[in-house]
Structure 1
Amino acid sequence: MAFKDKMEGLGYLFLLFGVLSNQGSSENLEENLALKGKAVQSSTYYRWGAASAIDGIRYAPGEASYCSITLNELNPWWRLDLQDYYYINNVTITNRADNNPERMTGVEIRIGNSLENNGNNNPRCAVVSSPVPAGGTVSFLCGGMGGRYINMFLPKIQTYLTLCEVEVYGTAYRRKTFLRMKLASSVDAAAVNNTFLHQLQSALGLSLVSDVKLSWTRLPYQEVTHEAKKPTRFCADKK
């Protein structure tokens, strides 16, 4: 922004146009979003914690290696927090390879922003309606359902919930907002930029985005709206 830092006695009209967008790239469809998230589950069976289902390892030799397992309980669930809002295109689940492959049957995939009932009341994308072979991987299209939380839920049954890998693919929520702001001031350029960004954040709220990028569609320009009047000098000849 090329203008003087300060000029006393002048008022300026700053016409600022900002674009608000989030950090993610909406073009990258191959990134497994689950790897950036955090997982929790209704309970944990020994050492098989929720994070094991998003470690990027579909299968490894050994007893339920790199899998998550809950206790044998009623309505077990597993939840992934993507840390941001995304449009989910598909969800891929890998079953354990050593034994008990039937435990994945009936799992509901739910996507949304609510944590009501631990997120299990969010809209349903799909149900694992048929048995998945030991070590098998299945994918479900979710049609761009929006949300921050991905739940694996086994309702109305008492059992263990076992997941060896959950992968989530989608696009980042990207919103562009153009804002025009008028400032009549003699403040410096940095202060104008900070004021604009602060007002943009306050006006729009940033609960659904992880980062804010401010860019100009038109460089700020200054318009002199008034000038300080110069004092009039009077001179008199001495006699």
Structure 2
Amino acid sequence: MDKLIHLILLSGLLCVSGSLAGNLALKGTATHSSTYYDWAAQNAIDGVKYGDAYCSSTSSDSNPWWRLDLLDAYSISTVIITAHDNYLGETTGAEIRIGHSLDNNGNNNPICAVTPDPLPGNTVSLSCNGMEGRYVNVVRSGRTSYLTLCEVQVYETVSHKRKTFLRLKFSSSVDVAAESDKILHQLQSALASHISDFNLSWTQLPEKEEKRMEDRGRCVKTPA
């Protein structure tokens, strides 16, 4: 005899509000004053924050620098720097410079901020208050040292906020509607690594509808 399987089908309307500004660095290209072994400049914009294979580093240079080309001019609100766990001092005291010029490899552009010493939690967020430029440089001026960066994130200033509505549908053996807050938290965490300054909220909670489905020989797990 065929088994009767009960699935709980739900659909809800989700509102995503905010600037929805993505990490501009992921679309850019990077270079630096020299390369320490295979710690390439592009590693600092690969979207992965930790691990030697995902970090960039110069050799021991005089005034070591790293430069990001955003490929277009933007109004920059925030630059986020993640340092290497074991090489904290090789990122601190670095100048963040933003501008349009490539004079002196871009290191003559205006200063947005200087990374503190030490970086709290190995990551620091620096406000640039809408400085405009195509190039973002990280340079340790007046030093002969390495410059090690595990991730550089760059976010633009967005002049207005907007809302986006998404219709979500679920098929589950549990009552997803009863866990709507948990789902919202999981979605927020998943999106946080790709977009900034946003909020999620249900405008219509998932509604439940039970549907009987026949199992014709497939292996389907059912509650005991």
- Is the pair's TM-score, using the shorter chain for normalization, greater than 0.5? yes
Q: Secondary structure at the match of 2:44?
A: helix
CA distance in 1: counterparts of 2:79 and 2:66, whole angstroms: 14
The structure 1 residue matched to 2:24, chosen from 26, 30, 33, is 33
Q: Is residue 181 of structure 2 the alignment partner of residue 170 of structure 1?
A: no
- SS in structure 1 of the partner of residue 54 of structure 2: coil
Q: What secondary structure is seen at the aligned counterpart in 1 of 2:141?
A: coil
1:117 is aligned to: 104
The alpha carbon displacement at 1:172 in A equals 7.5
Query: Offset of 1:136 from its aligned partner?
Result: 1.6
Q: Distance in 1 between matches of 2:116 and 2:151?
A: 18
Q: In structure 2, do the counterparts of structure 1 residues 85 and 172 end up closer, same or farther at CA, with 3 Å as the change threshold?
A: farther
* 2:60 alignment partner AA: N
How far, CA to CA, are the matches of 1:172 and 1:80 in structure 2? 20
Offset at 1:30? 3.0
Alignment of 1:86-235 (within 5 A): 86-97=74-85, 99-132=86-119, 136-171=122-157
Distance 1:130 1:29 in 2: 31
Take 1:53 and 1:107, find their aligned partners in 2: how far apart are those partners?
Answer: 15
Paired with 1:31 and 1:147, the residues of 2 have a C-alpha distance of 17
- Would you tell me which structure has more strand in proportion to its own residues? 2
| Match in the other structure for 2:3 | none
Q: Deviations over 1:9-63 (max 9, x none)?
A: xxxxxxxxxxxxxxxxxx8443000000000000000000000000000113xxx
Once superposed, which parts of structure 1, at least 4 consecutive aligned residues long, lie more than 4 Å away? none
Q: Partner amino acid for 1:170? A: E
Q: Give the Cα separation in 1 of the matches to 2:43 and 2:28.
A: 12
| Percent identity for Structure 1 against Structure 2 | 57
Equivalent residue, structure 1, for 2:222? none
Q: Within 1, Cα distance between the matches of 2:23 and 2:32?
A: 20
CA distance, structure 2, for counterparts of residue 77 and residue 41 of structure 1: 6
The 3-state SS of whatever aligns with 1:45 is coil
Are positions 1:46 and 2:37 aligned together? yes
TM-score, L = length of structure 1: 0.57
Counterpart of 2:92, as a letter, is T
> Residue 142 of structure 2 aligns to a residue in which SS?
coil
**What is the one-letter code of the residue matched to 2:94?**
V
Give, as a single letter, the amino acid of the residue that structure 2 aligns with 1:146.
Answer: E
TM superposition shift of 1:77: 0.2
- The separation in 2 between residues aligned to 1:149 and 1:172, in whole angstroms, is 18
Q: Does the CA-based 8 Å contact 2:81-2:151 persist in structure 1?
A: yes
**Change beyond 3 A, Cα 1:118–1:172:** farther
The amino acid of 2:23's aligned partner reads N
Q: Determine the C-alpha separation between the residues in 1 that align with 2:149 and 2:91.
A: 8
| RMSD between aligned residues | 1.7
Look up the SS of the partner of 1:65 in the other structure: helix
CA contact (8 A) 1:86 1:172 kept: no
**Bigger Cα Rg:** 1
CA shift for structure 1 position 129 = 2.8
The alpha-carbon deviation at position 89 of structure 1 amounts to 0.2
Q: Deviations over 1:115-158 (max 9, x none)?
A: 0000000000000132125x621000000000000000000100
